[in-house]
Amino acid sequence: MRLVKVLSRTLAVALVSVACSFAAETPAQDSVAKSPAKDSVPQSPSDIAFSHLYVSIEGGEIYPWGDLMDVVENSVYVGLGVRYTYWENFDGIVHFDYTYFKNRMKVVAYPGVHQAMGRLGLDWHGRWIRPVMIGGGFICNWSRADGGEERNFDKPGGTLVDNETEFGYFIRLNVPFLKYERLRVGFDLLWEELWTLPKRSNMLSAGFYAEWRLW
């Protein structure tokens, strides 16, 4: 039931955001499309790269998936992002987020885990879906238990007492739905898979961001 509730809530927000996005008067991704050079001479990728740069703050909720739902609770995340023009229909994205997962399992000797997340990837905004963007890339998560003792390394949750880092990939849907001058507000839905063992670890996150165009 928990999963159904999360899914329906996320889906509803996503659908409303997409509707708002297409209804918005100005396409969110106007940076390159409106560039005067585009109508005359096609711009080279090196001219497009970093021709615009955006910084953002973001907040939302992360939902552990599958077996992980028994291990940690849903949690709130906050983060900072940078987006830059890369190619005509692609933006580069860099994100740093933080969250704190509370434990569900009583056998674990600490109350929760600090997690920092770094993401590096690309957003595609082809003309048929603009201003919505679909993206993907690599993810690097750093985790450390909030307490615990290193001598309990072999006990449940013991490996997180020392720092642990793991990589993986993500795909995401980026739906900007409000634009005012240099400011843009949007919804971000992200699916990630970490290359953990014995099984891979999946999580879904949904959040809102406010983005400011620096140039």
Give me the least distance between CB of 12 and another protein, in Å please.
27
Q: What's the sign of the alpha-carbon dihedral 142, 146, 147, 152?
A: negative
Ordered DSSP codes for 81-115 = EEEEEEETTEEEEEEEEEEEEEB--TTSSSSEEEE
Give me the least distance between CB of 162 and another protein, in Å please.
7
Say if residues 170 and 154 touch (Cβ distance below 8 Å): no
* Cα distance between residue 98 and residue 141, in whole Å: 10
Give me the least distance between CB of 193 and another protein, in Å please.
11
Give 23 or 107: the residue with its C-beta nearer to another protein. Answer: 107
Give me the least distance between CB of 143 and another protein, in Å please.
6
Give 40 or 46: the residue with its C-beta nearer to another protein. Answer: 46
On the CB side of 172, CA atoms within 13 Å amount to 31
Contact set with another protein (CB under 8 A): 45-46, 49-50, 64, 67-68, 70-72, 86-87, 92, 101, 105, 107-108, 113, 120, 122, 138, 140-141, 143, 154, 156-160, 162-167, 194-199, 201
On the CB side of 184, CA atoms within 13 Å amount to 31
Give 93 or 175: the residue with its C-beta nearer to another protein. Answer: 93
